[in-house]
Amino acid sequence: MSEPRVFLLPDLGEGLTEAELVSWHVAVGDEIAVDQPIAEVETAKSAVEVPSPYAGIVTELHGQPGETLDVGKPLISVTPLSTGIAADDAAPAAASSAPPAAEAAAETYREEEKAGSGNVLIGYGTPGGHGVARRTRAPKAGTAVVEPAQTTEDDLTLLRTRVPGKLGAVISPLVRRMAREHGVDLGDISGSGDSGLIMRRDVEAALRTAPAEAPEAKPAETKPLETPATAALREARPANGVDARTGLAIAARTPVRGVRKAVAANMVRSRSEIPEATVWVDVDATALLELRGGFKANGTEVPGLLAFIARFVTAGLKKYPELNTRIETGEDGAQEIVSFDGINLGIAAQTDRGLVVPSVRAAEKLTARELDAEIRRLTDVARQGKATPTELGSGTFTLNNYGVFGVDGSAAIINHPEVAILGVGRIIDKPWVVNGELAVRKVTELTLTFDHRVCDGGTAAGFLRFVADAIENPTSLLADI
């Protein structure tokens, strides 16, 4: 009988090392096909469906819903329906001609392209569909060459993964290991494979140009795999215990993980690294509301208020580009302000999984209507947990509409590594002086939190006043709607 193939949790991209198992789509005993979704997992970025690279019968599920799994740990075991008897019978002969351990390790590096379908995340498959790989080895003298039959399935650890939105970082686990053991920074390598795939030859080329003294490889740190049983014990800590500090009964304990864990880590980093300052201003939004009302009366499809404000923000960032930058610190501690040729406008979105910030790419090129359509699309995919790492991690400035929660203002935390965030409060009726007379107007509060390293208060105030003036006199910037 064929040995089960163990599918390990694949590299889900963006440097993520773990994922929470949300649900299984299959059960033990089910017959599955190649690329069939087998589980939904939630990373610090989004929820994704993981497809199987193998076809066969499910023999074991390595984890329970709610459990956090490390990348590279077993996810599912599948027994192939048929694997070619000749290949199985040939295994002893192949083993007898195996090279020494050192040669075997080098041989392993040369096998990175062998995999199942190569389709790790739904919708991001390997070019060419279900490729077939063949293993070849140089025989010893007097030994017959044994070549296993071609197959569309292979060892999981050789699985090539494709990262949504970041094709240049698509590399096999073995190439990662080769680079790690030789001290090669994969971020500095341009891949020569399909869609920028980093291949073994690219790492070897980097090694040839590196200094002769390669850093000594350190043994990889490992931590014991948490079994479902130990996870259950950890999660099932008594909820009716008494807190030693307050003397109160503990009602519940909720693990911080997934998106919530990532948001918490990012906020802590922002507060600890960024010397932030905040400025705010009350704005008369009556003219903007009247303009939208006039469009609606004419039967015109009108963008949402946030799209109009986003249009004003992109115009303001063109005038005050210091707020559309990033601070980078080099290995020697020297800091640089990195400017961008374009604006990726992040839109803070509250979801069931926590606060996420998908970004509208090249937002400065879009009209208010186009911004409205993209904001709605991104908000929808973010709330479904389907936003890609690129959509969630490429922003250069964030717009936060917390007015939808019925609050007037907030000194928001900057979305690291950006340098500023603009908040918009609720729009309410307030007494306002117009042409020397008291009137009831629609008023909102704008709050800008900024990194004091990139600019001073004058620049921040200038940007904030620019956006406020555009809201109070919207026709000056909305010729293109």
Per DSSP, what are the bridge partners of residue 443? Answer: 284, 428
Among this protein's residues, is 25 annotated catalytic?
no
d(CA 253, CA 235) in angstroms, rounded, equals 8
Give the angle subtended at the CA of 383 by the CAs of 380 and 389, to the nearest 5°: 90
Residue 61 to residue 26: CA distance in whole angstroms: 9
321-330: buried (b, 16+ CB within 10 Å) or exposed (e) per residue? bbbbbbbeee
Kindly name the residue from 62, 130, 182, 452 that is annotated as catalytic: 452
DSSP secondary structure letter of residue 248: P
Instruction: Count Cβ atoms within 10 A of the Cβ of residue 212 and give its class: 0-12 exposed, 13-18 middle, 19 or more buried.
Output: exposed
Nearest C-alpha neighbor of 71 from the set 15, 127, 139, 121: 15
Amino acid at 333: G
Residue 115's nearest CA partner among 128, 135, 131 is 131
What DSSP character marks residue 321? G
- Residue count (the chain): 481
How big, in percent rounded to 5, are the helix, strand and coil portions of the chain?
Answer: 30, 20, 45
Q: 109: closest CA among 203, 17, 183? A: 203
Q: Which residues are catalytic?
A: 452
